[in-house]
Amino acid sequence: MSKFSKFAVTAFAAASIIVSTGAAFAAPVFSVAEPGNGLSISDFKSQLAVFNKDDVTALVNAKTVSVLHYDSAWTDGEDLNKAVGLLSDDAQSINQLREALKADPAAAKILQENKIEINTVVDIVDNGNGAVSLYVS
């Protein structure tokens, strides 16, 4: 077998592997959540209080992303007031998340392609099975 043939076979095998795993590299489908679909405030508070780098990985690997606008994620006025208070209470973890997003080229690209500025991201919630909720201000 010639050197070119060996190269061609190797290149074809590599391309086949890349194409067969292409679904893993597909961009997630973004949608805007209906108002009032935020986590319960107690669950959201515990989620927001701690920065988790795995949430950035979940965004990069997501199949679907549901975007929740912070001002409409909760329709109950008391819940919304509590949620707004969490923005200052948990500013450190929010900033850590934003810095992690900026440092991850794949995550930054996904957000940019969907016209979401990193500095508006408040939280990412991994809902499992490739579904992610993205809270933005």
Distance (Å, whole) CA 118 – CA 108: 7
Instruction: Give the β-pairing of 121-128 and 131-136.
Output: antiparallel
Q: What integer pLDDT is reported at residue 102 of this predicted model?
A: 98
Residue 62 has pLDDT above 60, yes or no: yes
Distance (Å, whole) CA 97 – CA 79: 23
**57 vs 11, which has greater pLDDT?**
57
Q: What integer pLDDT is reported at residue 43 of this predicted model?
A: 93
Distance (Å, whole) CA 75 – CA 80: 7
Over residues 84-123, the pLDDT tens digits come to 899 889 999 999 999 999 999 999 999 999 999 999 999 9
Q: What integer pLDDT is reported at residue 18 of this predicted model?
A: 42
- Cβ proximity of 134 and 116 under 8 Å: yes
Measured CA angle at 58 (ends 55, 63), to 5 deg:
145
Residue 33 has pLDDT above 70, yes or no: yes
Q: What integer pLDDT is reported at residue 3 of this predicted model?
A: 53
Q: What integer pLDDT is reported at residue 1 of this predicted model?
A: 54
Burial 57-85 (b: 16+ CB within 10 A, else e): bbbbebeebbbbbbeebbeeeebbebbee
Residue 115, φ and ψ in degrees, nearest 5: 55, 40
Residue 13 has pLDDT above 80, yes or no: no
